[in-house]
Structure 1
Amino acid sequence: MIVDIDDILSKLLEQEDTDGDKKITIEDNGPKQFELLSNSGEKLIIKGTYQLSNLLQELVIQKQQGKSEAFVNQEFIDELPTKRISRMIRDFYWKGLTRRMDKSGIEGLISDSKNESLTAEILPVYVPNGDSLAFDYYNALEKELPIKAVKLPTEITPEYVKSINEQPGILSLKLEVENNEVKGVPFVVPGGRFNEMYGWDSYFEAVGLLCDGKVDLAKAMADNFQYQIENYGKILNANRSYYLTRTQPPFYSSLISEIFEVTKDKGWLAIHLKTAIKEYETVWMVEGKRLTSNGLNRYRAEGIGMPPECEEGHFDEELKKYAEKEGISIREFAKMYQDGAIINEELDRYFVHDRSLRESGHDTSWRLDDVCADLNTVDLNSLLYKYESDFAHLIENYFDGEFEGWHSTYWFQIMEERAECMQKLMWNEEHAQYFDYNFRTKSQTHFESASNYFPLWAGLVDTRDVYKVVDTLMRQLKEKGGIAGTSRKMNSNLPDGAIQRQWDYPNGWAPHQMLIWKALKMYDFNTELQELVYRWLYMITRNAVDYNGTIPEKYDVVEATHKVFAEYGNVGTDFEYITQEGFGWMNASYQYGLKLLDETLVNELNQLTEPDSLFKS
């Protein structure tokens, strides 16, 4: 049936959106029944929160397409929830999260709220020293947009990065020439308020893209990873100037392996494999930096002073005691410390740990607070074992055992040496799990975290131990909505009044779920796999059904709700009428989870809305 969009929108919201947030949710107190009249006089009665929010979304989608009249498809109004959520992700959300670093993308960056701290109204676009295509392109754009192309020095030092903190800007990503036109190679951002490409988010987003057949976009993500390594020396936390000294959890080898499984493009693989080995060697295996003397690795971001991306006041609790000793205000102390007028080695160490924690992707967690750079973490060493394993198998299977002077036998040996070292220093037989290892105190942390189970995903858990490890996982971290970031016990050990860290209990995150699911599938724990996938998808589906399609950044898995109370809020809940993007790795986890879940359990998820809610009168 055909309806007038503005007329129906106005009547629908007036009747059903009782709290005025331009959404229709279970918290609205309307009758939850709406009489829809078409332009030709047809009548349709729509009942139920889910169905009414679907009507709202369908009207808005067509309004955004420039239409004044909408065709109301009954199948879409009463669409099964898993089918609808998956379809919206595939057909709308990925598009809404896709950006490019060409003119169109720069225009979005200019209005980015993260640029409000700029001292000038000109957005710096920092370009690698050797990328003349990018420099010439952005230099020409200066005539059209309020930007300034800035060429980076050949050697990028922490001192240089600190010197441009007062002029923070964006870092160029890969450009290519197509039909004599310069275009940015596309990438997916975590959420709608972001305009930059983030490190480990990109891998998980690519998993979702591959699920949805968007292979070219996944390849483009890998191509941008390669550009960052070749031009900035690392895969960046994100392509912002203040992240130049900071990388992210390494997933590049997994990304290119999974893309290659689909494309079978050996030429493309060879180009990326060479860069991945370069990243492994130059970013992770440099002694005294991210490689420690025991042969294992740590997160160890460089930088000087406080992380500049943090809002004013974020570190006040830590700065207060030092400011009081100096007899000055916190703001005065912070400025003098940043300017180098006050030297404080104890505070310097604190910020080494803080920047390293942010490099780990787990920003923030009590597991890593004020200790991160002293830890050989289970997650990082599992990821690097996976690199070594990927290199070994790719070279053996597709390059006849030798690639660019590297032999598969070498990588098999290296991965085994790492596994032995992790077993010696991190494995705890009594607790049946791996723990982070503090190489300064030479002791395990005994902190119970989802990151302790990355060895399952990497495939390094011995078959004799795997049953114990999976049992420990399910006992310690399984909650109503899936796997919690840390255990209930770790939460109970915190002092009264401790800040709720967002990567800790009771919150759960998509990357942890996805890695654990893949591990359970690989080790053939199908019962546990189905249970954990179902719990996670149940939570997402239930919240989307009840809250106008909301798919946010993180969830409280104990209560199975998107209403999370943590230090940074919850990206993806602030929208009107319809979410345009969901959240990157949440979208991916839904698509990946549906591929793994038994059909009978998918059918159960589809019962999470009122049956027989749409009928003609």
Structure 2
Amino acid sequence: MNSQNSEFTLEVEPTFQRLVSVADTDADKKITVEDQKNPDFYLIDSNGKKVPVQRTYYLSNLLQELAQARAEGKDSLSITLDEIQVPPSRRISERIENFFWDDLTRTIDREGITRILEDTKASDGVQRIYVPYGDQEGIDYFRDLQEELGFEMVILPEEITPEYVKSINTKPGILALALEDGEGVPFVVPGGRFNEMYGWDSYFEGVGLLVDDRIDLAKAMVENFVYQINHYGKILNANRSYYLTRTQPPFMSSFVREVYEAMAEDDKEWLRTSLEAAVKEYEQVWMEEGKRLTENGLNRYFAEGLRIPPETEEGHFEEVLKEFAAKHNMPVDEFEQKFQEGIIEDKALDQYFVHDRTLRESGHDTSWRLENRAAHLNTVDLNSLLYKYEKDFAYLIDEYFEGEFIHSSGRVYTPEYWSKKAETRKKLMNRYLWNEEEGSFFDYNFKKGEQTGYISATNFYPLWSKMASEEQAQKMVENLMSHLKATGGILSSAKVSVEQEATNEVQRQWDYPNGWAPHQMLLWKGLLHYGYEEEAQELIYRWLWMITRNAVDYNGTIPEKYDVVDATHKVYAEYGNVGTEFDYITTSGFGWMNASYQFGLELLEPEYIEELDELTPPDQIF
């Protein structure tokens, strides 16, 4: 019998210990390219023949399988050489589909609450659940559980103000989500230290879930968004108490449309409820004049709140606070305390934190693109996303509601109404954001009356929302490929823009040289919308090649972000890189990274998948 097909029956613990002693030479609980090469590991087949396992990738695969068996309490493991030497794209994809999504799934109920509460975010040592004033079912449910499970339930006031949110920042807690038949409606978390439901992460995770036919889970996440809109007034940055005044980039209409069109059953009531909530969010969150709607008719991010954002890492604002403490002639610690307590007033510092909270609401925390000006910008990304809302609403009402949607507010919406809104936004974007000379859209500073000129992946969102003309798209694609294409995919921003805008040496994580999953996914689809197949295939390949090579070389690592210039997961900007800390096997990867891999594989041509499994560098292909 061919050794490839022979089944090896391994004693889990002895084999695990022998493998670690031979191959994990730096004792970091992983087998990576940084370990010393040692060819002396072998398995014994049924004929007593020694079969060597030598390559780092194969050794780390075996380690992962043994670690999985160990975690499941197995004494023995049956495995073939084919299973150890599986093509990397297939192995990564299968682990995402069969393990990672389940490990990232949470519920806020009797079964799942402990896992969410047992993290490091309860700074005062008390675990809390905040429940909306109007959710009587949730209030009754968590009241009955709090003593048994050892947490404190707090009922939020009917009106949630920035002053109230600041008052509970020293008493942080998780925010309740939807219940159905006495069980929490499930959702996917990003992973690592992010143990809650995040706003725009959820849409991209949903794209991956739909690829993997996990429609019920994607549907449940939309239902949690509906709950957030109806009870918290917005889709939250994340369901933590200190995010109550902050939303995230809007993807609700896309999420609703894509989930509904993937559903096997024609659940019109589900669509009606979801569309109602999406329209409510559009009207009440984004179109309230003086807040996120500006005088020129375009939108901005604008996070409310008071003083210093409490979720940031210690020392994050050290340089800023030093400057203002010196201005007030006092030590930094004393100044910070008095500023937080409102004893010291400083309008300039207040304005800095308006921009900082707004930058975080944009999802791009942080970037020199938005530093100290975020609340003054009509951004390309936000207005592209709202254009997509308007087009989606027109389509859904026309396609599924016979051209008329009667909202519970009493308003009657038609496709023509939304199409007109979209056309108006398109004209305004072309007026204020489009730069014919540069062949690009740019963020517009409405306080200064000028475009920023900052070259960012977000400038290309009009391709995804299908707002750009064919002529604009041609120029934009040329710019995308010349300014933002890197070894491992699309850069978050151009090096030249960072050099022009940075006021110190701090590297922002949403800037050059880093790349992020949502940018890749949106721009792949945008390129395909306009028929740029070759460019899309190249950028998909570059991204998947980088992920695959890093996973092969580093024990299956699927992290939060990458340096796409050096094509490495070793990113140390600001908060480091979530998803790199694990022992022997990663059980969850990172939410939108998992999704980007599955989505990319679905779009990539078979000939390139073969090259991917050979780890052929992209510059040898394109």
Return the TM-score normalized by structure 1: 0.96
Aligned residue runs from structure 1 range 76-475, under 5 A: 76-115=83-122, 117-118=123-124, 121-177=125-181, 182-263=182-263, 264-404=266-406, 405-475=412-482
493-502 or 215-224, larger mean C-alpha shift: 493-502
Cα distance in 1 for partners of 2:496, 2:317 equals: 27
**Per-residue deviation at 1:328?**
1.8
The aligned length equals 602
Residue in 2 aligned with 1:566? 573
Residue in 2 aligned with 1:7? 14
Give CA deviations for 1:312-359 in whole Å, capped at 9, x if unaligned.
Answer: 321111111221232221111111101111011110000000000000
**Per-residue deviation at 1:113?**
1.5
Cα distance in 2 for partners of 1:280, 1:256 equals: 14
Give CA deviations for 1:237-281 in whole Å, capped at 9, x if unaligned.
Answer: 000000000000000000010011111432211110111000000
What letter corresponds to residue 223 of structure 1 in structure 2?
E
What letter corresponds to residue 317 of structure 2 in structure 1?
F
Cα distance in 2 for partners of 1:61, 1:41 equals: 26
What letter corresponds to residue 327 of structure 1 in structure 2?
N
Give CA deviations for 1:296-327 in whole Å, capped at 9, x if unaligned.
Answer: 00000000100011133211111112212322
Flag the 1:40–1:145 CA change in 2: closer, same or farther, 3 A: farther
Flag the 1:342–1:484 CA change in 2: closer, same or farther, 3 A: same
Give CA deviations for 1:83-103 in whole Å, capped at 9, x if unaligned.
Answer: 100000000001111111112
Residue in 1 aligned with 2:620? none
**Per-residue deviation at 1:41?**
5.0
Mapped contact 1:96–1:192 kept (Cα < 8 A):
no
Residue in 2 aligned with 1:614? none
Of residues 7, 14, 36 in structure 2, which corresponds to 1:29? 36
Helix, strand or coil: the match of 2:577?
coil
What letter corresponds to residue 248 of structure 1 in structure 2?
Q
**Per-residue deviation at 1:463?**
1.3
**Per-residue deviation at 1:427?**
0.2
Cα distance in 1 for partners of 2:211, 2:356 equals: 35
What letter corresponds to residue 575 of structure 2 in structure 1?
Y
What letter corresponds to residue 104 of structure 1 in structure 2?
E
Of residues 478, 502, 523 in structure 1, which corresponds to 2:530? 523
Cα distance in 2 for partners of 1:600, 1:591 equals: 17
What letter corresponds to residue 262 of structure 2 in structure 1?
V
**Per-residue deviation at 1:40?**
8.9
What letter corresponds to residue 534 of structure 1 in structure 2?
Y
Flag the 1:527–1:39 CA change in 2: closer, same or farther, 3 A: closer
Q: Which has the higher contact order (CA 8 A, sep 6+)?
A: 1
Mapped contact 1:36–1:45 kept (Cα < 8 A):
yes
Cα distance in 1 for partners of 2:193, 2:367 equals: 23
Unaligned runs of 5+ in 2: 1-7, 407-411, 617-622
Mapped contact 1:33–1:48 kept (Cα < 8 A):
no
Helix, strand or coil: the match of 1:36?
strand
Give CA deviations for 1:548-576 in whole Å, capped at 9, x if unaligned.
Answer: 00010000000111111201100010011
Cα distance in 2 for partners of 1:333, 1:280 equals: 39
567-576 or 464-473, larger mean C-alpha shift: 464-473
Mapped contact 1:3–1:38 kept (Cα < 8 A):
no
Cα distance in 2 for partners of 1:324, 1:103 equals: 50
Mapped contact 2:455–2:497 kept (Cα < 8 A):
yes
Give CA deviations for 1:27-59 in whole Å, capped at 9, x if unaligned.
Answer: 000314511247995633112000000000111
Helix, strand or coil: the match of 1:309?
coil
**Per-residue deviation at 1:109?**
2.7
Cα distance in 1 for partners of 2:114, 2:81 equals: 38
Return the TM-score normalized by structure 2: 0.95
Cα distance in 2 for partners of 1:75, 1:131 equals: 53
What letter corresponds to residue 432 of structure 1 in structure 2?
G
**Per-residue deviation at 1:163?**
0.8
Mapped contact 2:178–2:184 kept (Cα < 8 A):
yes
Mapped contact 1:129–1:153 kept (Cα < 8 A):
yes
Cα distance in 2 for partners of 1:482, 1:466 equals: 19
CA root-mean-square deviation: 1.3
Residue in 1 aligned with 2:511? 504
Residue in 2 aligned with 1:64? 71
Mapped contact 2:249–2:382 kept (Cα < 8 A):
yes
Cα distance in 1 for partners of 2:254, 2:40 equals: 49
Of residues 579, 597, 610 in structure 2, which corresponds to 1:603? 610
**Per-residue deviation at 1:495?**
5.2
231-240 or 33-42, larger mean C-alpha shift: 33-42
66-75 or 39-48, larger mean C-alpha shift: 39-48
Tell me if 1:47 matches 2:54: yes
299-308 or 136-145, larger mean C-alpha shift: 136-145
**Per-residue deviation at 1:492?**
3.0
Cα distance in 2 for partners of 1:133, 1:75 equals: 52
Cα distance in 2 for partners of 1:319, 1:505 equals: 26
Cα distance in 2 for partners of 1:346, 1:103 equals: 46
**Per-residue deviation at 1:64?**
1.4
Mapped contact 1:158–1:245 kept (Cα < 8 A):
yes
Query: Share of identical aligned residues, percent?
Result: 57
Helix, strand or coil: the match of 2:43?
strand
Cα distance in 2 for partners of 1:151, 1:267 equals: 30
What letter corresponds to residue 187 of structure 2 in structure 1?
F
Give CA deviations for 1:160-187 in whole Å, capped at 9, x if unaligned.
Answer: 101111101110001111xxxx211110
Residue in 2 aligned with 1:16? 23
**Per-residue deviation at 1:146?**
2.0
**Per-residue deviation at 1:122?**
2.5
321-330 or 489-498, larger mean C-alpha shift: 489-498
Helix, strand or coil: the match of 1:113?
coil
Cα distance in 2 for partners of 1:491, 1:414 equals: 34
Flag the 1:39–1:153 CA change in 2: closer, same or farther, 3 A: farther
314-323 or 295-304, larger mean C-alpha shift: 314-323
Cα distance in 1 for partners of 2:89, 2:431 equals: 44
Cα distance in 2 for partners of 1:433, 1:170 equals: 41
**Per-residue deviation at 1:464?**
2.0
**Per-residue deviation at 1:82?**
0.6
